[in-house]
Structure 1
Amino acid sequence: MKNTRPDLITLGITAVAASFVTLVIKNFVSGEKKIRKRIPRKYNIADPQFERSMSQLLGPPILDGNRIIALNNGVEIFPAMLAGIASAKTTITFETYIYWSGVVAEQFSNALSAKAREGVKVHVLIDGMGCDCVEGESLQRMKDAGVEVEVYHLHNLSRVNQRTHRKLLVIDGRMGFTGGVGIGDSWLGNADAEDHWRDTHYQVEGPVVAQFQAAFMDNWMKTHATVLHGDAYFPAIEEQGPHRCQMFKSSPMEGSESARLMYLLSITAAEKSLRVGNAYFVPDDLVTDTLIAAVRRGVTVEVLVPGQHLDSALVRRSSRHRWGRLLRNGVRVFEYQPTMYHCKVMIIDDLWVSVGSANFDNRSFRLNDEANLNVFDREFALRECGEFLKDKENAREVTWEEWKHRPLAEKAGDAAAALLRSQV
């Protein structure tokens, strides 16, 4: 009888190889077509058509009657979030990318556990890659107290490269928090030391909070496979303030181009000024072309990024490699000096603002689940512009001449890092 053992081994190796290739394709290669040509400019930010595009093409609708309070750095952010948790009467939903062991993680674990023991329904969704304590005491304490804790895509190999980068906290379906902050000790303090990061979060009340809740439910249903609904989660919400806004969300499962398209449409509509503050600024070719086109039609374009204090050397090098064409064509780039700059803000014509979790990089545009609060309000935009200008005072400008004459070894390192920019 013919020995079939070698055939079985060959079949096994082939199956493993095929599975590996399939996982790589699912994690790193998208089958969707990408927007490759620059979007024609047909209106500016103040034109009603821009708002219709944001509300109808990308959705959800921009809603009236919201109140937004900007919170700067951990000294303001964490007390406000913990006070919100302490005030909860019925429900708490919480989604975050980073949950790092430490003082802040313990504070949130204790606060959420206490509310669960009081009978409040508490649901926590964290990303498996962004959390360093999946099996740690903080999460176990919450589970023991009755908190429903889910970890996003940790054991799903076909989705392990797709992460939830959203930062959403909703209290009783009426108060929401979002922005750039994770649950980690790096955000403690007031950006007054090298290990105290600069960041902004936003406390929101009003009808748009229902969109916060819907964004959370989007991933909760994918992970927990249950639907949370009813008055405890989606109460009727009266108008609370003057701000008009939407909670924009994106996901590779539902159209990975949506975050990128939102940025492209916004930049294309800019008429006077465009200010971008972003922790991870690695623009692709089309975004670069769109920024340059804005400068050529008279828009002042300023980009504020981290300086030497950055948690990823690969991101810093990939970013710097992409600055050449921008600097040569009039885009101004500033590096924040005191500490890690982790804000994510775009302000256009002192009228349209986008803040939240999305970065200016491929991971946010095509791989991560993101959520941004988009605000159509001049008063809010001017306030954010003021904060941007304050941060710029603590930054140094990088010129075209300086960039062009970097040491050869630095140029080579930047170019090598840029080869991996689709994953940083």
Structure 2
Amino acid sequence: MNSPTLTRRSVAGDWRAGWLFPIVMLVTLLAGCASLPDVDYLRRGQLQVQKPTIVTANGTLSDGKTQSMLDRMAAKVGATDILARHVAAEEAISSAPLVAGNKVILLDDGPITMQAMMNALRTARDHINLETYIIEADEVGRAFADLLIQKRAAGVQVNLIYDSVGALTTPPEFFDRLRAGGINLLEYNPINPLKAEGKWDINQRDHRKLLIVDGRVAFTGGVNISRVYGKSSLIRGKNRQAPPEDAKQSAWRDTHMQIEGPVVAEFQKLFLDTWRRQTGNDITAKRYFPPLKPEGNALVRALGSTADQEDYSVYKTYVSALSNASNYVHLTTAYFVPDQQIVEAMKEAAQRGVDVKIIFPSFTDHEMILYAGRSFYDELLQAGVKIYERRIAMLHAKTAVVDGVWSTIGSTNLDMRSFLHNDELNAVILNVDFAEKMEALFQRDLRDSDQIMLESWRQRGIGQKMKEWAVRVLEYWL
């Protein structure tokens, strides 16, 4: 449920809002086409890297202790440039610190994620900060709303950021009830420019998914507040089934995570920064930054990208990770409309012997995006990239696991919409045990997917080829 422009959700996904299509296209065309930066230096390993800095609950580790920690991880996974080169490159790419001492829990299904978040909400004593692209007025959205109102009545401060486009079909009465219950609401970049408090850009969206409870536990990943996560995606089957007419009727396969430890403060800073950038004001102070002790042994970086700051940190991280992988890169992505630099990084990795596998959806809630992604298959397959399509469940996850130690889960799709126009959020995790769980999840999805082979792919019908060509021409506006 990602919307590169209003057209993906409100027009392609909901014809009731079809009147917005010509307005959005006109505004987008008049604004011109933004472009991603040249990152050839990342692919060629020409970035002047910095020594990684690791922050703990008690301060910054010395260079010696930092290197010792990375060496211990390297000893578990063998030869890889991910730790020696990419982590150092990531330090130069992003200002976000690499934080030690965190407990990370993989949430690999919608109902599991919803239950974990609801359980955390029930424990709230001081504040709840929730940022989401979509919050729907369905049974899942109402359950969240009921609990948020209940916690506010108990004296807990509740702050909610939702995207104006993502919530386009959510009735105003849903938000009126939350507001009447004392919840602080922020509609990110309102569609109506008269409601905007600062700079107005209809094409800039908040695609993040972030929940923070009492400054002590954070959740992030690809899961929105919607009933599509009410069904379990752990459905097994070897036979391809016809895609449902409405993808919302299918179970959705998504990935989220729960985080406890010192890095929660970095996620908190990102939430508060979004509020400040949109309103020009700080939220009424609460105990947003309680003392945090080590809860586990994972190194985590909270990697937030914002369109108005043009930092492209998540984009650069993906390019660098692909360029520095030594053994394997296993990716899942819901929407695939990349720029050529990402494609070249994938091809180059495969051509130097890295096992590059990508799982895509076999059906989606946005058909044009599906064909846009498939228009890259021939080029990738020819270079040795292995491509799969997930059966039965609607794949919405945005994940990567590289060389058994580096993982990322977040809201960022491998498309230009995510890289250029969205506020996105990814957690980058350095931890062998967590990477093993991520790899096991990837292999589970692989068993429920069909591999696309080059020879058979080239025999697809002319109608499909024409659709791919047509949407490729319009890929920037998807």
3-state secondary structure, aligned to 1:369: strand
Report matched runs for 1:170-319 at 5 Å: 170-192=212-234, 195-228=250-283, 232-308=287-363, 310-319=364-373
Aligned to 2:54: none
3-state secondary structure, aligned to 2:395: coil
Q: Which moved further from structure 2: 276-285 or 130-139?
A: 130-139
Q: Is the 8 A contact 1:283 1:360 kept in 2?
A: yes
Q: Deviations over 1:64-84 (max 9, x none)?
A: 000011112222111111111
3-state secondary structure, aligned to 2:43: coil
Aligned to 1:15: none
Measure how far apart 1:239 and its partner are.
0.7
Measure how far apart 1:225 and its partner are.
2.5
Alpha-carbon distance in 2 for matches of 1:31, 1:312? 23
Q: Is the 8 A contact 1:264 1:290 kept in 2?
A: yes
Question: Which of 166, 176, 179 pairs up with 1:130?
Answer: 166
3-state secondary structure, aligned to 2:300: strand
Q: Does 1:29 align with 2:71?
A: no
Alpha-carbon distance in 1 for matches of 2:413, 2:157? 32
Report matched runs for 1:132-151 at 5 Å: 132-151=168-187
Matched-pair identity in %: 28
In terms of Rg, which structure is larger?
A: 1
3-state secondary structure, aligned to 1:108: helix
Measure how far apart 1:31 and its partner are.
7.3
What is the letter of the counterpart of residue 143 of structure 2?
A: Q
Alpha-carbon distance in 2 for matches of 1:31, 1:337? 34
Aligned to 1:5: none
What is the letter of the counterpart of residue 118 of structure 2?
A: L
Aligned to 1:54: 90
Report matched runs for 1:60-209 at 5 Å: 60-155=96-191, 157=193, 158-192=200-234, 195-209=250-264
Q: Is the 8 A contact 2:125 2:214 kept in 1?
A: yes
Alpha-carbon distance in 1 for matches of 2:381, 2:306? 31
Alpha-carbon distance in 2 for matches of 1:133, 1:117? 27
Aligned to 1:408: 462
Measure how far apart 1:228 and its partner are.
3.6
Normalization by structure 2: what TM-score? 0.80
What is the letter of the counterpart of residue 346 of structure 1?
A: A
Alpha-carbon distance in 2 for matches of 1:227, 1:255? 23
Measure how far apart 1:90 and its partner are.
0.6
Alpha-carbon distance in 1 for matches of 2:173, 2:329? 44
Alpha-carbon distance in 2 for matches of 1:35, 1:45? 18
Q: Is the 8 A contact 1:358 1:370 kept in 2?
A: yes
Aligned to 1:377: 431
Measure how far apart 1:45 and its partner are.
3.7
Q: Is the 8 A contact 2:81 2:324 kept in 1?
A: yes
What is the letter of the counterpart of residue 52 of structure 1?
A: A
Alpha-carbon distance in 2 for matches of 1:38, 1:404? 32
Alpha-carbon distance in 2 for matches of 1:32, 1:332? 26
Q: Does 1:39 align with 2:33?
A: no
Alpha-carbon distance in 2 for matches of 1:26, 1:261? 27
Measure how far apart 1:135 and its partner are.
4.2
Measure how far apart 1:21 and its partner are.
11
Q: Is the 8 A contact 1:27 1:159 kept in 2?
A: no
What is the letter of the counterpart of residue 216 of structure 2?
A: R
Q: Which moved further from structure 2: 72-81 or 61-70?
A: 72-81
Normalization by structure 1: what TM-score? 0.90
Query: Aligned residue pairs: how many?
Result: 405
Alpha-carbon distance in 2 for matches of 1:32, 1:384? 29
Q: Deviations over 1:254-287 (max 9, x none)?
A: 1153221111011111001000011112222111
Q: Is the 8 A contact 1:220 1:226 kept in 2?
A: yes
Q: Deviations over 1:261-314 (max 9, x none)?
A: 111011111001000011112222111111111111110000001003x11101
Give ranges in structure 1 of 5+ residues lacking alignment.
1-18
Alpha-carbon distance in 2 for matches of 1:183, 1:412? 35
- Compute the RMSD of aligned alpha carbons: 2.2
Q: Deviations over 1:392-413 (max 9, x none)?
A: 0000001111221211111011
3-state secondary structure, aligned to 1:176: strand
Q: Deviations over 1:76-100 (max 9, x none)?
A: 1111111111111111111000112
Q: Does 1:361 align with 2:418?
A: no
Q: Deviations over 1:313-368 (max 9, x none)?
A: 01100000011110011000000001101111011111100111000000111111
Change (3 A) 1:113 1:387: same
Aligned to 2:375: 321
Q: Deviations over 1:201-260 (max 9, x none)?
A: 111100111111111112111223222476611122111111111110001111153221
What is the letter of the counterpart of residue 354 of structure 2?
A: V
Q: Is the 8 A contact 2:165 2:191 kept in 1?
A: no
Alpha-carbon distance in 1 for matches of 2:45, 2:329? 15
3-state secondary structure, aligned to 2:360: strand
